[in-house]
Amino acid sequence: MSKAIFRFYEELNKFLPKRRRKTDFQVNFKRRRSIKEMIEAFGVPHTEIDLILVNGKSVEFTYRLQDGDRVSIYPVFEFLNIENVTRLRKIPLRKTKFIAEANLGYIVNYMRILGFDVCFDPSLSAWQIIEISKKENRIILTKNRKLLKFKEVTHAIFVRPGTTGEEIKRIIDYLDIKYSIKPFSGKPKKRAYKPNGVKAM
């Protein structure tokens, strides 16, 4: 049986059981599995990850694990320069825009008051949210971990439970977008969305 050593860094640890947080841990596997498949088996959404190092070299999600691999997994970087490694986002977001799922409607108005562009329609299915996110380069705000595991999702934030203020602060701090706050400049847009062959989830 093959073995690999994993370690997750910074806020990625919040998705792991306590015994695996901020420490190396060994995983046994019988067949060569993709790094993405292994990571999500631990409960860590791929959308939270921006850099994977295997034996000190950056790899993509499609990398197949080999016996003896040592894997280091890092969250989205906001301040560090990692231009010479394999970034897992092919298209960077040029402007911070959001789309919130139905059960996060309570934070939408507050974020709009702060000046953020937040798309919200409680009638949208998960697939429709993903489609809009890709088409308009919007970051998905969700409490649904299953949604984060779809390969079509490239930019999303898992909103951890807290008060409304705490949840909004975490989003702003996570993306380091305090400079984008412009109170009362965010105007809700009326949307006439017609799904293109999407299905309900």
Report pLDDT digits (tens) over 54-90: 988 888 899 999 999 999 998 865 443 434 445 455 5
- Lowest-pLDDT range of 4-18, 117-131, 138-152: 138-152
pLDDT at 182: 78
pLDDT at 27: 93
Query: Which tokens belong to 5?
Result: 């050593």
pTM, entire model: 0.54
pLDDT tens profile 22-31 = 899 999 988 8
Kindly tell me if the per-residue pLDDT of 99 is higher than 90.
Answer: yes
pLDDT at 77: 53
- Look up residue 2 and give its amino acid: S
Query: Which tokens belong to 198?
Result: 């999407």
pLDDT tens profile 144-181 = 888 888 888 888 888 888 888 888 888 888 777 777 77
pLDDT at 187: 53
